[in-house]
């Protein structure tokens, strides 16, 4: 069970804003929606090769107060760290807390 004292990380919730570039593609920027206090728990570390480049991949569990507006299209930012949301769930189905499984990629 997560206690209120564990919500010590102030994350910025961001949403993608896509603008057509005129050549059939889009330019994506990330607009801040607000700050959220959350608990972050590291879960695993792995590595992957993407475009002939080895990347470290970390997964975390981010726990925050329940909200209905967070989806897999959002991300959390903590300083220079970026956490992409991979899964969202209400752990006890009582609309008190929200758990997000996130992935942080590092070069």
pLDDT band of residue 107 (cuts 50, 70, 90) is: low
Q: Are 40 and 9 in contact (CB under 8 A)?
A: yes
pLDDT band of residue 106 (cuts 50, 70, 90) is: low
Q: What is the pLDDT of residues 31-45, one digit of tens each?
A: 999 999 999 999 988
Q: What is the pLDDT of residues 46-73, one digit of tens each?
A: 777 777 777 777 899 999 999 999 999 9
Q: What is the pLDDT of residue 1?
A: 65
Tell if the pTM clears 0.85, that is, is over it: no
Give the whole-angstrom CA distance, residue 61 versus residue 64. 10
CA geometry: angle 9, 65, 89, nearest 5 deg: 105
Instruction: Using alpha carbons, select from 26, 32, 25, 27 the residue that is nearest to residue 75.
Output: 32
* Residue 101 neighbours by CB under 8 Å, 6+ apart: 43, 59, 60, 61, 85, 86, 87, 88
């Amino acid at each position: 069970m997560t206690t209120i004292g564990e919500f010590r990380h102030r994350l910025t919730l961001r949403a993608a804003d896509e603008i057509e570039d005129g050549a059939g593609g889009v330019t994506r920027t990330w607009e801040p929606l607000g700050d959220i206090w959350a608990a972050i728990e590291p879960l695993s570390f792995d590595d992957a090769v993407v475009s002939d480049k080895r990347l470290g991949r970390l997964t975390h569990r981010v726990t925050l107060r329940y909200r209905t507006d967070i989806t897999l299209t959002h991300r959390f930012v903590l300083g220079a760290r970026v956490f992409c949301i991979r899964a969202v769930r209400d752990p006890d189905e009582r609309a008190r807390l929200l758990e997000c499984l996130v992935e942080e990629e590092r070069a």
